[in-house]
Amino acid sequence: MTSPMTAPAPHVLVVVASRHGATEEIATALGQALAECAAGRAAGLTTVVAPAERRPDPSVFDAVLVGSAVYAGRWLTPARDYAAAYAHSLRTRPVWLFSSGPIGEAPFPPDDPHDAGPLTALTGAREHRTFPGRLDTSRLTLGERAMVTAMRAPVGDFRDWAAVADWAAEIATALTAPVPASQ
């Protein structure tokens, strides 16, 4: 058994698909919080945040977080394609999934994305977490603005940065916890 003092520092990949930047900002915050929380600092944990479109190879990382913005109840295609293309490799390491998209108080929409269950099963993810998103009409296309107006969707930044940091600390703790000796 390797002790925590001699274990190599965990190297974590955070893969994200984001349409207007809000989910990418959540992924960046997760990456920073993983490395900067107490468990991450103590273990020397490092992170790389990359867009799903670049298709980074997860096999060279100790753990992977995959996230996507959610539109019409679904993950963006690049994130779904990434999870499918690397499913075999993802199932061989710790994986967590996250979504960004509900907005307002109470969250709109109130449900998890349709992809959460199937993608959790496909990748063997330990958990899926949904974070509130941001709706900034100045970043939307004309068609998207029309849809938002028709749906009367709440406009604003609803992201909960404390919840993002707390989840990152939970993940870092899970990754750096000593592994009990086999009996």
Residue 5 has pLDDT above 60, yes or no: no
List the beta bridge partners of residue 16: 51, 67
User: How many other C-beta atoms lie within 10 A of the C-beta of residue 178?
Assistant: 11
Residue 95 has pLDDT above 70, yes or no: yes
Cα–Cα distance measured from residue 79 to residue 178, given in angstroms and rounded to the nearest whole number: 31
User: How many other C-beta atoms lie within 10 A of the C-beta of residue 167?
Assistant: 20
Tell me the pLDDT band of 182, cut-offs 50, 70 and 90.
low
Mean pLDDT (whole number) for 74-95: 97
In angstroms and rounded to an integer, the radius of gyration of the C-alpha atoms of the chain is 17
Provide the whole-model pTM.
0.85
Q: Which residue has the tokens 């899970």?
A: 174
List the beta bridge partners of residue 129: 98
pLDDT in tens, 122-137: 999 999 999 988 776 6
- Mean pLDDT of the chain, nearest integer: 86
Can you give the pLDDT at residue 68? 97
Tell me the pLDDT band of 113, cut-offs 50, 70 and 90.
confident
Residue 154 has pLDDT above 90, yes or no: no
Tell me the pLDDT band of 110, cut-offs 50, 70 and 90.
low
- SS3 annotation, the chain: CCCCCCCCCCEEEEEEECCCCHHHHHHHHHHHHHHHCHHHHHHCCEEEEEEHHHCCCHHHCCEEEEEEEEECCEECHHHHHHHHHCHHHHCCCCEEEEEECCECCCCECCCCCCCHHHHHHHHCCCEEEEECCEECHHHCCHHHHHHHHHHCCCCEECCCHHHHHHHHHHHHHHHHCCCCCCC
Cα–Cα distance measured from residue 28 to residue 65, given in angstroms and rounded to the nearest whole number: 11
Mean pLDDT (whole number) for 56-62: 97
What domains, with CATH codes, occur in the chain?
11-176 (3.40.50.360)
Residue 63 has pLDDT above 70, yes or no: yes
pLDDT in tens, 13-26: 999 999 888 999 99
Residue 94 has pLDDT above 70, yes or no: yes
Mean pLDDT (whole number) for 30-59: 97
Tell me the pLDDT band of 2, cut-offs 50, 70 and 90.
very low
